[in-house]
Amino acid sequence: MPKALILANSSSGLYDFRNEILTGLMDEGFEVTVSLPDDLKAKELQDEGCKVIHTDINRRGVNPVQDMALFGAYRRLLKSEKPDIVITYTIKPNIYGGFACRLARIPYVSTITGLGSTFERGGTLLKLIVAMYKTALKGCSCLFFQNEYNHQIFEQHGIRGKKTVVVNGSGVNLDKHKFEEYPGHKDDVTRFLYIGRLMKEKGTEELLYAARKAHEKYGDKVSFAAVGYSEEDFEEPVKEATLAGYFKSIPYQKDIHPFIKEADAIVHPSYHEGMSNVLMEAAATGRPVITTDINGCKEVVNKDVSGLLCRPRDKESLYEAIDRFMELPMEKRIEMGKAARDHVEQKFDRRSIILTYINEIKQIV
């Protein structure tokens, strides 16, 4: 029985967005082991038949001591598990897992799930990251990108694997995220929902500004809520917004579908994405989306048909999009939700994306 080892930085990210790859590999006769830094979805993965191994990862920033410890942990893991193929996601598993696989001469495939802020800021850190990526991915049997823009940026920096495949993100499970009729709340309150970490790069400053300004205009006829953890820098601003009555913060939820179901629209003012899973899930549920006009977000939106776009890092532009949505009649909002579902059915069905991954993996092993 061939063995696949998955290196990832989040159990929820792996289970919620890439679980079908694991179950698909097991259906093909693979033994699957996953390496994760947390146990939020460890039980679910184990119940499906995966072996789960804990591996500490500092997800934020660069710490040479911790990062070298991660590299050492991956080397030991390869030696003990003896996988036939390794599959890596996100920057640190991609880089340090790639280093370890090259040294061990074990084939590996990696997925670029987004570029992060380093590629925007440039400087010495970018030069370091590019050099590490070049070395780590040089031996990668197949390098997956979630949008063409990210692929072109890597090409410009000379970062390449042996083969490249561009897919439409992780796709969305259309059965799990089923279409829901538009809520039509009896209290006539328009409910906007944000899903994800409250942090600068996800547009939290702009979101809080737009929520305050919309509340000033529409009063109790508008509601803003966020589901997810708050980064330290935004704990106080979020608390102030909550006390002021124009924002509600809800802790991370394992099942996000009921929250999307009750929302009138999903707001996602991110600065950069690989391909936004939040937007795909919202659209699949039949909810209009308001998001930034950037690669990784705009592809999920049929502009002005299934959602609205605003300029990134522009609080007034975000507010204007929200204000436009507030002025839409109920019939138009319902049409947008249906168009959103149609759009992801045509372009983001996870089944076709998983098939692409598994076919590539079977060619390697």
Predicted pLDDT at 328: 97
pLDDT over 70, % of the chain:
100
Rounded to whole angstroms, the Cα distance separating 142 from 160 reads 9
Q: Are 228 and 196 in contact (CB under 8 A)?
A: yes
**Rounded mean pLDDT for each run of 10 residues along the chain, 365 residues in total:** 96 92 96 96 96 90 86 97 97 96 98 84 88 96 95 96 95 94 89 96 96 97 95 92 95 92 97 93 97 95 97 97 97 97 96 95 95
Query: Among 282, 270, 269, 294, which Cα is nearest to 341's?
Result: 282
Please, where are the H alpha helices in the chain? 11-27, 42-48, 64-81, 91-104, 118-121, 123-137, 148-156, 204-218, 235-244, 257-262, 277-284, 315-327, 330-347, 350-364
Predicted pLDDT at 59: 73
Predicted pLDDT at 342: 97
Predicted pLDDT at 64: 86
Rounded to whole angstroms, the Cα distance separating 211 from 282 reads 19
Query: Among 229, 241, 242, 285, which Cα is nearest to 260's?
Result: 285
pLDDT per residue as tens digits for the range 109-158: 999 998 877 887 778 889 999 999 999 999 999 999 999 999 999 999 99
Query: Among 26, 30, 81, which Cα is nearest to 53's?
Result: 81
Q: Measure the N-to-C terminal CA separation of the chain; round to a whole number of Å.
A: 11
pTM, two decimals, is 0.86
Query: Mind listing the domains of the chain with CATH numbers?
Result: 3-171+349-364 (3.40.50.2000), 190-347 (3.40.50.2000)
> Containing H/E element for 143?
strand 142-145
Predicted pLDDT at 115: 85
Report phi then psi at 9, rounded to 5: -110, 10
Output the six-digit token pair for 325. 């949505």
Output the six-digit token pair for 64. 């040479």
Q: How far is CA 224 from CA 189, 199, 212, 215, in A?
A: 10, 16, 9, 9
pLDDT per residue as tens digits for the range 262-312: 999 999 999 989 899 999 999 999 999 999 999 999 999 999 999 999 999
Predicted pLDDT at 122: 79
Rounded to whole angstroms, the Cα distance separating 95 from 71 reads 9
Q: How far is CA 51 from CA 29, 43, 192, 260, in A?
A: 15, 10, 39, 31
Q: Are 312 and 291 in contact (CB under 8 A)?
A: no
Predicted pLDDT at 121: 78
pLDDT over 90, % of the chain:
88
Predicted pLDDT at 267: 98
Q: How far is CA 21 from CA 15, 83, 201, 248, in A?
A: 10, 16, 28, 35
List the beta strands (DSSP E) in 157-221: 164-166, 190-195
If one counts every other C-beta atom within 10 angstroms of the C-beta of residue 323, the result is 15
Predicted pLDDT at 101: 98
Q: How far is CA 137 from CA 129, 130, 146, in A?
A: 12, 10, 16
DSSP-derived 3-state class of residue 45: helix
Query: Among 326, 323, 287, 327, which Cα is nearest to 307's?
Result: 287
Q: Are 13 and 92 in contact (CB under 8 A)?
A: no
